[in-house]
Amino acid sequence: MTQSPALPVQDSYGRLSDGREVYRYSFTNSRNVTVRVINYGCVITDILVPDKDGNIDDISIGYDKIEDYEPNPRCFGSICGRVVNVISNGKFVLDGKEYSLPLTFSSLENEAPKHAIHGGVKGFHLKLFESWIDGDKVKMKYVSPDGEEGFPGELTTIVSYQLTNQNELVTEYSATTTKTTIVNFTNHAYFNLQKHDYPNIDDHVLQISADKYTVNKDDDIFIPSGELRAVADTPFDFRKPVRLGDRLKEGPHGRGFFHNFCLGESGPLKQAAVLDHPPTGRRLEVLTTEPGMHLYTGCNTIPHTKGKDGAVYEPFCSVCLETQHYPDTPTHQDKFPSIVLRPGENFYSKTIFKFGLIPQ
């Protein structure tokens, strides 16, 4: 017997400070998986999945209400764009013309911002998208004006979410532009497979399908140097499963991981990572058409953050598996896969988060 698809249901999630209404869409499939998303920042607010004993918990960290998501300084659960991740010195050259972006990020504490990150002062994670239900999908649309946050071209972006009865949360991105521009999207969900309010990810076991990673600079530890290096014999070798608690403090300067892993050619759908949590039996598989995946382990940038259900989030309480093109691609256009989008072209990207149990 064919199972009915997980059809989304819309309700109100409240209003922004300027009075605009935010909508929430809830999916529940035949296997007791529930996902909720809102059209502000295309945020995934909740992911509720069973463990090996049938207990259902929320495994995605976030907030309770729109008042907290409106600033969302950690990009909890949101889409990031136009260009996710860093652009060093906030500058890039496109067809011989230099563009300058707002400087919003520094690698060092108490240092004035000197790089651009996540699309600018008000990137896509802080935009209210037009949204509607299309069959078993929710679609969200935003038209970014020419010149917004320093990027050329009017960019029309559509993000869609779908929850299948195979426990697949499918995210698709499409975009067109009126001028040659650069585009790189991701979803910035933070996962803790024990439960969103559990204080650490030590017992998580991670495997990444990457033979190489992008090396960061020694003097600016979140900025790629342009070098692609083999993961073999380094702390970045996740080709076989690794318990995160045994590896987190091996990251640069003991700050965990803020690094891109090279997955292969852009376009084909391929496995990026498998995240297991043996105590609960939960498993998360990540598949993507993107050439890279950024591993972010919370580092020291989530200090005592109040979250949903009374939770308090601390460093190393969660892990992000951000499928995307490589960070700072405009600075390394001769080495990294291109993120250039031209008029008449259609950008398309797909990522699947598949929830399940560790095979016995």
**Per-residue tens of pLDDT for the chain, all 360 residues:** 467 889 999 999 999 999 999 999 999 999 999 999 999 999 999 999 999 999 999 999 999 999 999 999 999 999 999 999 999 999 999 999 999 999 999 877 778 999 999 999 999 999 999 999 999 999 999 999 999 999 999 999 999 999 999 999 999 999 999 999 999 999 999 999 999 999 999 999 999 999 999 999 988 888 999 999 999 999 999 999 999 999 887 666 667 899 999 999 999 999 999 999 999 999 999 999 999 999 998 655 677 899 999 999 988 999 999 999 999 999 999 999 999 999 999 999 999 999 999 998
Q: N- to C-terminal Cα distance for the chain?
A: 27
DSSP 8-state code for residue 69: H
Residue 317 CB partners (closer than 8 Å, separation 6+): 61, 192, 198, 199, 200, 201, 298, 302
**Structure confidence at residue 315 (pLDDT):** 87
Please write down the HEC assignment for all residues of 13-67: EEECCCCCEEEEEEEECCCCCEEEEECECCCEEEEEEECCCCCEEECECCCCCHH
Per the annotation, the verdict on 125 as an active-site residue is: no
The rounded distance, in Å, linking the Cα atoms of 329 and 323 is: 14
The rounded distance, in Å, linking the Cα atoms of 14 and 66 is: 6
Is the pTM above the cut of 0.75?
yes
Delineate the domains of the chain, giving CATH numbers in brackets.
Answer: 9-357 (2.70.98.10)
Query: Is there a binding annotation on residue 188?
Result: yes
DSSP 8-state code for residue 89: G
DSSP 8-state code for residue 307: -
**Structure confidence at residue 344 (pLDDT):** 98
DSSP 8-state code for residue 319: B
The rounded distance, in Å, linking the Cα atoms of 140 and 340 is: 22
Q: Comparing C-alpha atoms, which of 288, 270, 273 is closest to residue 325?
A: 288
Q: Comparing C-alpha atoms, which of 318, 319, 337 is closest to residue 327?
A: 337
Dihedral sign from CA coordinates of 257, 51, 75, 230: positive
DSSP 8-state code for residue 153: S
Choice among 118, 277, 322, 325 that is catalytic: 322
Query: Is there a binding annotation on residue 190?
Result: yes
**Structure confidence at residue 109 (pLDDT):** 72
Choice among 115, 118, 188, 259 that is catalytic: 188
What pLDDT, in 10s, does the model give residues 174-211? Answer: 999 999 999 999 999 999 999 999 999 999 999 999 99
Query: Is there a binding annotation on residue 296?
Result: no
Per the annotation, the verdict on 188 as an active-site residue is: yes
